Amino acid sequence: MEIKLNDPFAAELVKAQTALMQVIDPELYVNVVDLGLVYGVDFTDATKVKVTMTLSTPGCPMGEAITGGVKNALTAAFSDRETEVEVVWEPRWNYHMITDEGKAQLGLE
């Protein structure tokens, strides 16, 4: 999840990222941002916060918990907006999407 300083919604994106970092993948014990599961957060609709994200695998048994966690976290952070979560399978998630911080938390090389 990349945030550009000149983005008109940079402040909201930082707030969203902070909230999403509280959502942990219960299988890997790493937050969804550092796992690279969050592809984007959109604030262009003033009444909504729309998240585009993926899961490590379709049919992931933790999928409902993870997407529910994302919705809960963003609803708490942006109580004046409705949260929408869209799960996509393209691009397919892979291990290279994990951030360096996520890799460190996983004890990867």
Residues in the site for another protein, rule: CB under 8 A? 19, 22-24, 26-27, 29, 55-74, 76, 84-89, 95, 103, 106-109
The Cα 98–Cα 30 span in angstroms is: 10
- The helix (run of H) or strand (run of E) holding residue 62 is none
- The helix (run of H) or strand (run of E) holding residue 100 is helix 100-106
Q: How many CB atoms lie within 10 A of CB 60?
A: 17
How far is residue 20 from each of residues 75, 82, 109, measured CA to CA in Å? 11, 16, 25
Q: How far is the CB of 60 from another protein (least distance, A)?
A: 5
Q: How far is the CB of 17 from another protein (least distance, A)?
A: 14
13 or 74: CB nearest another protein: 74
8 or 68: CB nearest another protein: 68
Q: How far is the CB of 91 from another protein (least distance, A)?
A: 15
Q: How far is the CB of 5 from another protein (least distance, A)?
A: 27
- The helix (run of H) or strand (run of E) holding residue 85 is strand 82-87
7 or 57: CB nearest another protein: 57
